Amino acid sequence: MSRRYTKADLEAIVYKQLDNLNAMHDLLRIMKVQNDLIQNINQTLREEIGQFKEQQVMYPQRRKSKS
């Protein structure tokens, strides 16, 4: 039993699909912005870690004495 779709039914289906595609596009745009923010934060963190490592002073370790 195949169903016969009217033009109005098909238009409703197409518009619903278009709405879904637009929603997915919006989500992808949001994810891209979030990804860019994460990349910028990671770059800043890498730079701060590099600066912190340069500022660290390495103290000599005490040698264990042999008995």
pLDDT tens, position by position, 9-36: 999 999 999 999 999 999 999 999 999 9
Residue owning tokens 């990349």: 39
Q: What is the pTM of this model?
A: 0.64
pLDDT at 64 over 90: no
Distance (Å, rounded) from C-alpha 13 to C-alpha 5? 10
